[in-house]
Amino acid sequence: MTTMALLEILHYPDPRLHKVAKPVDTVDDSIRVLVQNMAETMYDAPGVGLAATQVNVHKRVVVIDVSEEKNDLRVLINPEILDKSEEQKIYEEGCLSVPDVYDDVERPATVRVRALDLSGESYEFDAEGLLAVCVQHEIDHLNGKVFVQHLSMLKQTRLKAKLRKAEREALKA
């Protein structure tokens, strides 16, 4: 088994976060290593979900673990939402690519998802609560969308200015 590695997480407004990820043709060892590295990076961050786009790999791969114990890793390769509820819920979301920023986002309350597992086998599941939010948030990343794009233009403009200022100050330090 290869050793795992922490991957660099891209930070908004990095334009690479807006690239649309390509489907995975074959689930092979390179994808399994990517998943291992993504999982280690997510747990280290710490976060509950990570899309390959966020680590500058533009393949449709997501890792999620919404368990308290951090022992229920879900791997979604080529995930797609098959169905979503008409009922909407508002959750406060954050993102590893947008550190220290949290805001309310409205999304479908439940979703039905299809994805491939590490063996390349297709499976489906229903998600609600935090898992539903997380799945939708990570699939947004694969489609080149960051959660702040769900916010008002005013909030997006303020956020970009705040992040650019923080980046400039970090460079001076």
pLDDT in tens, 68-113: 999 999 999 999 999 999 999 999 999 999 988 999 999 999 999 9
- For residue 160, tell me if it sits in a domain: yes
Ramachandran assignment for 56, one of left (phi > 0), alpha (psi -120 to 50 degrees), beta (any other): left
Number of Cα atoms under 13 Å in the Cβ half of residue 168: 6
Residue 4 pLDDT > 80: no
Mean pLDDT in residue range 126-150: 97
Annotated binding-site residues for Fe cation read 95, 137, 141
Range of the domain at 30: 15-171
Q: Residue 27: give its domain's CATH number.
A: 3.90.45.10
- For residue 95, tell me if it sits in a domain: yes
Number of structural domains found in the chain: 1
Of these residues, 124, 128, 138, 167, which one is catalytic? 138
- Note the pTM of the prediction, 2 decimals: 0.93
Catalytic annotation present for 138: yes
**Residue-level pLDDT at 1:** 45
- For residue 7, tell me if it sits in a domain: no
- For residue 109, tell me if it sits in a domain: yes
